[in-house]
Amino acid sequence: MKKEKQIKEKLSKIKATGFFSITFSLTKKSKKALRYFRQKLKVAGLISSEKYLRMEALSSFSKRKAFKKA
């Protein structure tokens, strides 16, 4: 629960700046929580579908980039 709250705080800061790139490393559990929270934002109408898709694309891009480095 505490981890989810931290993620929500980070996302609200990111949302406030309009920059959706997630640069911090996430555990498998927090990745699921982050995906769930993004979906909630989209459903609630707080972000547009385009921004949601952009967030997902940036997330998958950063995963691939991290995989290549490893």
> Which residue positions in the chain have pLDDT lower than 50?
19-23
Position 53 scores a pLDDT of 73
14 CB burial (10 A radius; 0-12, 13-18, 19+): middle
Query: For 37-67, b where at least 16 C-beta lie within 10 A, e where not — what string?
Result: ebeebbeeeebeeebbeebeeebeebeeeee
| Cα radius of gyration (the chain) | 12
Position 35 scores a pLDDT of 78
Position 39 scores a pLDDT of 77
Position 68 scores a pLDDT of 62
**pTM of whole model > 0.75?**
no
Position 65 scores a pLDDT of 63
Position 46 scores a pLDDT of 67
